[in-house]
Structure 1
Amino acid sequence: MTSPTSPRVRAAVTALPGYVPGRPAPVGPGGASFKISSNENPYPPLPAVLEVVQRAAAQLNRYPDMSSADLVGALAEHLDVPAARVVPGTGSVGVLGSLLQAVCETGDEVVFAWRSFEAYPIVVGLSGATPVPVPLDGAGRHDLDAMAGAITERTRLVLVCTPNNPTGPVVGAQELEAFLARVPRDVLVVVDEAYLEFVRDPQAADGLAAHRAHPNVMVLRTFSKAYGLAGLRVGYAVAHEPVAEALRRTAVPFGVSGIAQLAAVASLEQSEALLERVDAIVDERERVVAELTRQGWRLPRSEANFVFLPVGSSTGALVAACAGAGLSVRGYGDDGVRATVGDVAADDVLLEVCGAFLPTWSPDRVG
């Protein structure tokens, strides 16, 4: 028998799609260069948060508090939930990875909308479970009826991303409740609210309210977007105690750095000032959407800090047009282009590019 010529890697790993990060910004005419491909907050950390981070840097030789006790306490108070239900992690995707390790085994299934967050099929595949993607509807929204119909006796987890990344629409509160009524009690429903703070739709679902009402619902949130801490990798789950304890058992030890914990606590203390910035981003989103609509674009209704341009097979062409103007945007196969909003100068360039691109492409294929 022939011996392998190199160490073996799991077949499931080699078959996984790779996560594609947002590309660095190209340089366009006149030196214009904007990265609007990663949904980052355009504002730097507030001075009070920076001060905490700078002081904490002197303790880099020490391990962080593995329990994240101060952060857990601050979140429990901020959200009005028991501390035992709060589990921080290395961004919401890090928490999701731990969750899948705790809940799923080979042969299990995980249902989610598609297209949705690009990491979903990757972390599901790593757990050994089988991804069950369910197409979005024609408006870029979750088709919850179809998702409920996709649940089988092998389903262990359902992911509901609201607002949906990359298209932007929210799941409504009433439709989420109707969906939960169809989900078996032993199937965990994860409401991923990474962009929650940007939502202004009064009919939108409230993940925490659903969590309080249903023992099989948990919530994922992050400090990366609205709170502007993407570089520190800190998010959290709110889960009922049995699931929360499983998350603590499967988490990477000392995964959330001391700097990240302190910055997150300081950010919660500065919530009012930070959310004023979020309001400014939402105002800018509405300006961009209004202008794109005036140009003739028909867009999914975004409640996040980005817009999605559903240009189908012309995705690559629009990405290239943006790059030529100094914009790095995110293309999604033959589905469309996502562009972060919030930086007025970048948004003005995006609007100029989109206004020039649309006449070269059939408007009746938009949306």
Structure 2
Amino acid sequence: MTPDQLLTRPETTLPTLRSAVTGLPSYVPGRRSAGMDIAALASNESHYEPLPAAISAVAEAAGRMNRYPDMAAVELRERLALHLGVTAGEIAVGPGSVGVLQQIITGLCDAGDEVIFAWRSFEAYPILVELAGARPVRIPLDHLEGHDLDAMAAAVTERTKVILLCTPNNPTGVPISHERIESFLRAVRSDILVVIDEAYVEYAEAGSGPNSMALYRDYPNVCILRTFSKAYGLAGLRVGYAVAAPVIAEGLRRTALPFAVSAVAQKAAIASLDAGEEMEARVAVVKQERARMSRELAARGWKLQPSQGNFLWIRADDDLLPRLVDAFDRAGIMVRAYQGDGVRITVADAASNDRVLRLLEAHAA
């Protein structure tokens, strides 16, 4: 019997997906470049090639990819522990920070539990929460495009298990100060895991955001979430990590998909950590370009909040947004549009950034 015949049989009943799955919104990735003259500024990737040390590590590790990777990622965890001044027992790794976040929500949330986060923030937050059967609690950003921590604290209930703080916030680029997070931590129960998501921390100016490691040492319910996908340029290899109290970190390792972080990714991450000075030099150039673009756009009348990520955020209503997106598309510039909210533009090389400036000058606010 053919598949078509099977489907047309009156008595056929196919398996059904969970309602939590059928109701999920699709994660929308940044669009991919389709030509040599396309400026791919939609995904917040590093425009640099991977660090040379990482490329060498990948080439060496590729010869052993017939073997399973170290599921416990011991060498990488030990290198991260040395880098951060913690123990390997306080670190869990996963396929990007989003993979580790899925481990966090799976490990802490039962059906009906609540996860609080700002909105708009990282698009994967509500998807991962709903997939776990938990309830996403979205708290609108404040008028400065940042987290409204007072409103987030007021939203806590007896079912709250996790609170996500994205700093600098994706997609707005606004950080949360150390003092504000510390005050927030004093206001919420210690049995709630407060995740400080720092995917873009390397691009933040010193002092603009929290000293998350200091907060972690003072508040055991803090979990720090970071990635190698952005500043380290390993987006295609998928490796991220969390720093958490040993009992929490052990739970995150238990909920991880076996062998999810490849040996190639682990070796590249270690090599990238060892090439930290070279990474920082690249980040410094991105910061300079970010500042230049912000100055020039402000001079053209665009009102932007200062970004601490490797991107800029333009708030755009339903009238401006489609006109901007159409203009970017026609100019061969791929940006990330958020319906009803605005446009996020990755800061890249100077030539691509100049193309953005020329376009926005022609469409000045």
TM-score category of the 2 structures, normalised to the smaller one: over 0.9
Name the SS for the 2:63 alignment partner: helix
- The one-letter code matched in structure 1 to 2:16 is R
Which ranges of 4 or more aligned residues in structure 1 deviate by more than 6 Å?
A: none
Give the 3 Å change call, closer, same or farther, for CA 203–309 of structure 1 in structure 2: closer
Alignment of 1:118-267 (within 5 A): 118-267=123-272
1:353 aligns with 2:359: yes
- The one-letter code matched in structure 1 to 2:363 is F
For residue 15 of structure 2, the aligned residue among 7, 22, 28 is: 7
Deviates more, 1:339-348 or 1:153-162: 339-348
Q: Please name the residue that 2:328 is paired with.
A: 322
State how far apart, in whole Å, the 2-side matches of 1:157 and 1:48 are. Answer: 37
Q: Please name the residue that 2:338 is paired with.
A: 332
State how far apart, in whole Å, the 2-side matches of 1:322 and 1:249 are. Answer: 44
| TM value normalised by structure 2 | 0.95
1:17 aligns with 2:22: no
State how far apart, in whole Å, the 2-side matches of 1:346 and 1:6 are. Answer: 49
Displacement after TM superposition at 1:3 (Å): 6.2
- The one-letter code matched in structure 2 to 1:292 is L
State how far apart, in whole Å, the 1-side matches of 2:254 and 2:206 are. Answer: 36
Instruction: Judge conservation of contact 2:105–2:132 (CA < 8 Å) in 1.
Output: yes
Alignment of 1:275-286 (within 5 A): 275-286=280-291
1:86-142 CA-partner distances (Å, limit 9, x unpaired):
111100000000111110011100000000000000000011100000000111100
Q: Please name the residue that 1:79 is paired with.
A: 84
Instruction: Judge conservation of contact 1:280–1:342 (CA < 8 Å) in 2.
Output: no
State how far apart, in whole Å, the 2-side matches of 1:64 and 1:305 are. Answer: 31
Displacement after TM superposition at 1:323 (Å): 1.0
1:297 aligns with 2:302: yes
5+ long unaligned stretches in structure 1: none
- The one-letter code matched in structure 1 to 2:219 is H
State how far apart, in whole Å, the 2-side matches of 1:60 and 1:112 are. Answer: 38
- The one-letter code matched in structure 2 to 1:301 is P
Displacement after TM superposition at 1:210 (Å): 1.1
Instruction: Judge conservation of contact 1:26–1:323 (CA < 8 Å) in 2.
Output: no
Instruction: Judge conservation of contact 2:41–2:348 (CA < 8 Å) in 1.
Output: no
State how far apart, in whole Å, the 1-side matches of 2:74 and 2:110 are. Answer: 30
State how far apart, in whole Å, the 2-side matches of 1:139 and 1:316 are. Answer: 23
Name the SS for the 1:163 alignment partner: coil
Name the SS for the 2:363 alignment partner: helix
Alignment of 1:52-131 (within 5 A): 52-131=57-136
Displacement after TM superposition at 1:69 (Å): 0.8
Instruction: Judge conservation of contact 1:26–1:326 (CA < 8 Å) in 2.
Output: no
Displacement after TM superposition at 1:4 (Å): 6.4
Instruction: Judge conservation of contact 2:39–2:333 (CA < 8 Å) in 1.
Output: yes
Give the 3 Å change call, closer, same or farther, for CA 201–46 of structure 1 in structure 2: closer
State how far apart, in whole Å, the 2-side matches of 1:150 and 1:304 are. Answer: 27
Displacement after TM superposition at 1:296 (Å): 0.5
Name the SS for the 1:231 alignment partner: coil
Displacement after TM superposition at 1:317 (Å): 1.9
1:271 aligns with 2:279: no
Displacement after TM superposition at 1:209 (Å): 1.4
Instruction: Judge conservation of contact 2:117–2:165 (CA < 8 Å) in 1.
Output: yes
